[in-house]
Amino acid sequence: MTDSIVDKNSCLFLTGVRHPPGSAGALRPGESSVVNSSSSKPIRALCLLSGGLDSQLAARLLLEQGIAVQGVTFTSIFFGAKAAEQAARQLDVPLLIEDFTSTILAMLAHPKHGFGAGMNPCIDCHIAMVRRSGELMRERGFQLVSTGEVLNQRPMSQHRQALQQVASESGVGDYLLRPLSAKLLPETEPEKRNWVDRARLLAFEGRSRKPQMALARELGITDYPQPAGGCLLTDPAYGKRLKDLKTHEGLDIIPILRLRLGRHFRVGAVRVIVGRNQAENQQLEKERQSAEYLLRPRDIPGPSAILPAGATEDELQQAAEICARYSDFLAGQPVLMEVQGPLGRRMLAILPAMPEMIESRRI
C-alpha cells in the first residue's frame, strides 16, 4: 500500500510505502531489525537513489540488514526523477525528491572542481547532493547517508581520493557509507557502532558491471536502466549550446529551457532559434516574448525563427537568410520573409543563406 504525502514546509514530495510480508523491505524469518542501542529504534538510512543499478543495490543491501531505508533523489531542468521513482517502487521504499535547479545553476558559473567532457560539473554536483543529504540526515533523524558509488568505477570521480573528498567536503564525513565497496574503504562510523554489519557489505571495484548484474539477479532486481548519461550536461551537443549561452546571454531559466528546442545559430551578438518541424514552430511562436522578433516565410512552407528584439538590421537580415534556407525555396529566387517585432510587422525579400554560412554560425 502506498501513501503519498506532500511536505508543504520544505516542498519535498514523499512516497511512503508499507512493507508487506515477503517484500524487499520486509525482514526474512529469523532476522531481526538493526536498532539504535541508545533509543531502541531501528537504524534509519538515507540512501541517494538515482534509479540506476548501483544505487538500487546499495539500498537493497541495507534493507537486507533490517535497516529502515528512505531514498532521496534530485531533480532539475537538466535531469529528472523518473528513474528514481521507479526504483523506489521496486525497492518498496519511500522517496524524497529535492529540486536542485538553483543549486546547479549557481554551480555552473564557477565549479570548484571543473567540468567533465561537457558542461557537467560532476564532482561538485555530487558533493552538493551528498551535502544536502547530510543536512536532511540531521534534520530528520537518520543515522547515516548511503550512496551507490563503486571504487574506481569512474576514473575521475570515484578513485579513493575523490571518494574521501566527497565525504570531507560534503560535511557528512564518516557517516557516509558506500555499501558496494565498503570492504575496500576505511571503516565508517555506522560500521564501528554496529549499526551496519560490515561483513555483509561488499568489495566491488572497477568498471565491470558483471558483479552488479549477478547480484541483481540474485536479489530479484530486474528493472533498472542501462548505464548512460541521464543528465543533459553530459551531452556534448547540449553542452556546446549551454557554454555559448553562458558566454553570451548568461544562465537564465527560459533561455536554458529553449536549448533543446530547434536549431541554434550565433549571428553577431544574438542567438537565433529555427524550428525543425511544425510542433517546434508552434512552440516557438507560442513562447515568443514581446521583446523578440518572429520570422517565417510568407508564401511557401518553412520554419519559424525567433531572435532578440535588440538585434541589429544586419543580424536580422542574416537570421532571415538562415530561416529561409530551411524553407521550400526555389533556387535563385528570393524568399519573402514576414518579420514580426516590437514595432509591428514588415516584409523582407532575401536570398536563402548558403550552406557555408549556415555551418559557420551553427551552435
| pLDDT at 50 > cutoff 50 | yes
Region of residue 67 (left: phi > 0; alpha: psi -120 to 50; beta: else):
beta
Establish if 250 belongs to a structural domain: no
Single out the residue of 60, 48, 70 nearest to residue 126, CA to CA: 48
HSE toward the beta carbon, residue 294, CA cutoff 13 A:
16
Are 21 and 164 contained in the same domain? yes
**Reported pTM:** 0.84
**Using CA atoms, how far apart are residues 332 and 312, in angstroms rounded to an integer?**
26
Which stretch of 48-57, 67-76, 116-125 has the lowest confidence by average pLDDT?
116-125
Find the length of the chain: 363
Q: Which CATH number goes with the domain that contains 176?
A: 3.40.50.620
Asked if 352 and 346 touch (Cβ cutoff 8 Å), the reply is no
Which stretch of 9-18, 58-67, 97-106 has the lowest confidence by average pLDDT?
9-18
Determine the pLDDT at residue 229: 63
| pLDDT at 97 > cutoff 90 | yes
- The single residue listed with the C-alpha cell 549557481 is 106
Are 210 and 67 contained in the same domain? yes
Are 198 and 310 contained in the same domain? no
Which stretch of 32-36, 251-255, 273-277, 356-360 has the lowest confidence by average pLDDT?
32-36
| pLDDT at 198 > cutoff 60 | yes
Determine the pLDDT at residue 14: 40
Are 70 and 141 contained in the same domain? yes
Dihedral sign of CA atoms 104, 212, 205, 60 in order:
positive
> What pLDDT, in 10s, does the model give residues 288-301?
998 899 999 999 99
Establish if 82 belongs to a structural domain: yes
Asked if 104 and 124 touch (Cβ cutoff 8 Å), the reply is no
**Using CA atoms, how far apart are residues 276 and 293, in angstroms rounded to an integer?**
18
Establish if 249 belongs to a structural domain: no
Are 171 and 47 contained in the same domain? yes
Establish if 253 belongs to a structural domain: no
| Beta-carbon contacts of residue 312 (< 8 Å; ≥ 6 apart) | 268
Are 21 and 149 contained in the same domain? yes
| Reported confidence tier of residue 350, pLDDT bands at 50, 70, 90 | very high
Establish if 184 belongs to a structural domain: yes
Task: Provide the 3-class DSSP secondary structure of residue 137.
Answer: helix
Domain end position, chosen among 216, 231, 246: 231
What is the rounded average pLDDT of the residues 250-272? Answer: 96
> What pLDDT, in 10s, does the model give residues 203-254?
999 999 999 999 999 999 988 887 766 899 999 999 999 999 999 999 999 9
Single out the residue of 269, 241, 42, 48 nearest to residue 145, CA to CA: 48
Determine the pLDDT at residue 67: 98
Determine the pLDDT at residue 37: 55
| Reported confidence tier of residue 30, pLDDT bands at 50, 70, 90 | very low
**Using CA atoms, how far apart are residues 51 and 85, in angstroms rounded to an integer?**
7
- The single residue listed with the C-alpha cell 519559424 is 304
**Using CA atoms, how far apart are residues 126 and 113, in angstroms rounded to an integer?**
11
HSE toward the beta carbon, residue 58, CA cutoff 13 A:
30
Which stretch of 36-50, 164-178, 246-260 has the lowest confidence by average pLDDT?
36-50
Domain end position, chosen among 212, 231, 250: 231
Determine the pLDDT at residue 164: 95
Establish if 245 belongs to a structural domain: no
CA dihedral 354, 359, 360, 363 (to 10 degrees): 140
Single out the residue of 319, 124, 126, 116 nearest to residue 235, CA to CA: 116
Are 68 and 198 contained in the same domain? yes
Establish if 23 belongs to a structural domain: yes
Pairing outcome for strands 35-36 and 12-17: unpaired
Exposure pattern of 277-297 as b/e (b: 16+ CB <10 Å)?
A: eeebbebbeeebeeebbbbbb
Establish if 247 belongs to a structural domain: no
- The structural domain count of the chain equals 2
What is the rounded average pLDDT of the residues 163-189? Answer: 97
Determine the pLDDT at residue 343: 86
Looking at residue 333, the DSSP 8-state letter turns out to be -
Are 224 and 312 contained in the same domain? no
Determine the pLDDT at residue 107: 95
Are 226 and 268 contained in the same domain? no
What is the rounded average pLDDT of the residues 87-103? Answer: 97
Determine the pLDDT at residue 10: 39
Determine the pLDDT at residue 6: 33
Task: Provide the 3-class DSSP secondary structure of residue 243.
Answer: helix
Pick 271 or 34 by higher pLDDT: 271
Are 119 and 40 contained in the same domain? yes
Determine the pLDDT at residue 38: 54
Pick 38 or 208 by higher pLDDT: 208
Are 157 and 10 contained in the same domain? yes
Determine the pLDDT at residue 259: 97
**Using CA atoms, how far apart are residues 223 and 83, in angstroms rounded to an integer?**
10
What is the rounded average pLDDT of the residues 302-313? Answer: 96
Domain end position, chosen among 209, 231, 253: 231
Determine the pLDDT at residue 34: 59
HSE toward the beta carbon, residue 153, CA cutoff 13 A:
18
Are 193 and 302 contained in the same domain? no
Single out the residue of 108, 91, 106 nearest to residue 50, CA to CA: 91
> What pLDDT, in 10s, does the model give residues 125-138?
999 999 999 999 99
Mean pLDDT across the chain: 89
Residue 129 structural domain: 2-231
**Using CA atoms, how far apart are residues 53 and 64, in angstroms rounded to an integer?**
16
